[in-house]
Amino acid sequence: MRFRFGLTGLLVLLVGLALVIPVPYLVLKPGPVFNTIGTVAGHELITISGTQTYPTSGELNMTTVSEFGGPVDGVSVGQALWALMSKTDRVVPRELFYNENQTAEQNAAQNAEAFSSSQSYAIAAAMKYLKQPVVDNIVVSSVTEGAPAQGLLRAGDIITSLDGVAMKTPEQVVAAIRAKPVGTKFDFGVTRKHQPMTVTVATAPKVDDPTTPENETGTPYVGIGVDTLYSANFDVNFALDGVGGPSAGTMFAIGIVDKLTPGALSDGKKIAGTGTIDPDGNVGPIGGIAQKLVGARNAGVVLFLAPVSNCDEVVGHIPSGLTVAPMKTLADGISNIEKFTHGQSLPVCTANNK
């Protein structure tokens, strides 16, 4: 009897341990929504100054996914099994969302950079939709920890020149740095908080980049991300922390357009959406759309704008009471809202129209 009890106890112990062992998966759950024409923690999510703005009403919500298990820890077997039994949660391999060779800090920085870029692209898309000028600058989007540029260049620095030569594109900056041998000192002409200055940085071999007979010293780098920062001829600022990734871009752009045009676009209704956006206003796919649909409906949303390229994931996952309209561009999204508020027919997602 003792022997049989011991085996049973051991089996229970092993099963219990298995349920808490971490596995390389993420659990995605419906997340909160944020009204782009409303407030967050007492502050307007989008603040526009220096030009005429107009009153808004209703909600134009960006949607989110609450994520558990990433980018390093994973979830336990028990958590994954529980999520698999849920009608709203999803279990996905962690590698689909995160580079397994990056640290948690690097992944967080990458998400923050994507979120910042989505705001910049949203401004450009909104200005082009409104046929207003777009200002573009080359900006330091990130600085790698331990890189030569750390402590010298800062995220947000606008790069105006390199060794006295005016820089026009991010690619031009990268090409100029890689054209000189490792150890070369470059004078970066930058504007930081409206103040012009010169910052000198010497290149080092790029980490984990193998040398070749033709390139014995390795690829020179300073350790910065370089991107184009778009802005308007007036100030547009965003007040939202703790959210990462590029998927809010389209709703940011729609919120900007609403604030800069007479009349309330949503006509007092609760509307939400998702989608990446590029500077020309093209809407791209995102992850976790099924969870975003649920999160939106839980918040009382009646119309959801989805990227056309996500339509195959939308079909069969639309919560009761929610209307979903696909869009390829910012103009499509705004048109869908106007049709909805005027009681007109809308395009619908089908499994093959992504």
Quick: pLDDT tens for 168-178: 999 999 999 99
Q: Report the pLDDT value the prediction gives residue 169, as an integer from 0 to 100.
A: 94
8-state DSSP, 95:
G
Task: Give me the chain's average pLDDT, please.
Answer: 86
Asked if 164 and 310 sit in the same domain, the reply is: no
- 2 confidence band (pLDDT: 50, 70, 90): very low
User: pTM (2 decimals)?
Assistant: 0.82
Asked if 177 and 226 sit in the same domain, the reply is: yes
pLDDT tens for 89-116 read: 777 776 666 666 666 666 666 666 677 8
- Report the CATH number that the domain containing residue 167 is assigned in CATH: 2.30.42.10
Q: Report the pLDDT value the prediction gives residue 99, as an integer from 0 to 100.
A: 67
Please check the confidence at residue 16 and state whether its pLDDT lies above 80.
no
- 141 confidence band (pLDDT: 50, 70, 90): confident
Q: Report the pLDDT value the prediction gives residue 219, as an integer from 0 to 100.
A: 87
Residue 314 lies in a domain: yes
Asked if 197 and 273 sit in the same domain, the reply is: no
Q: Report the pLDDT value the prediction gives residue 110, as an integer from 0 to 100.
A: 66
Min mean pLDDT across 29-43, 215-229, 258-272, 291-305 is at: 215-229
Q: Report the pLDDT value the prediction gives residue 85, as an integer from 0 to 100.
A: 72
Burial of 109 (0-12, 13-18, 19+ CB in 10 A): buried
Asked if 222 and 268 sit in the same domain, the reply is: no
User: 81 and 25 in contact (C-beta within 8 Å)?
Assistant: no
* Domain stop point among 201, 231, 261: 231
* Domain stop point among 177, 203, 231: 231
pLDDT tens for 244-303 read: 678 899 999 999 999 999 999 999 999 999 999 999 999 999 989 999 999 999 999 999
Q: Helix (H, G, I), strand (E, B), or coil: what is residue 301?
A: coil
- 66 confidence band (pLDDT: 50, 70, 90): confident
Paired residues of 91 in beta bridges: 27
Task: Give how many domains the chain has, as a whole number.
Answer: 2
Helices (H) and strands (E) in the chain, counts: 8, 22
Q: Report the pLDDT value the prediction gives residue 351, as an integer from 0 to 100.
A: 76
The dihedral region occupied by 123, where left means phi > 0, alpha psi between -120 and 50, and beta the remainder, is alpha
* Domain stop point among 205, 231, 257: 231
Asked if 214 and 251 sit in the same domain, the reply is: no
Residue 77 lies in a domain: no
Domain of 309, in residue numbers: 29-65+103-131+236-341
pLDDT tens for 178-197 read: 999 999 999 999 999 889 99
- Report the CATH number that the domain containing residue 123 is assigned in CATH: 3.30.230
Which carries the bigger pLDDT value, residue 207 or residue 150? 150
Q: Report the pLDDT value the prediction gives residue 287, as an integer from 0 to 100.
A: 87
b/e sequence 321-347, b meaning 16+ C-beta within 10 Å: ebebbbbbbbebbbbbbeebbeeeeeb
**Other beta carbons less than 10 A from residue 354's beta carbon:** 16
User: 118 and 283 in contact (C-beta within 8 Å)?
Assistant: no
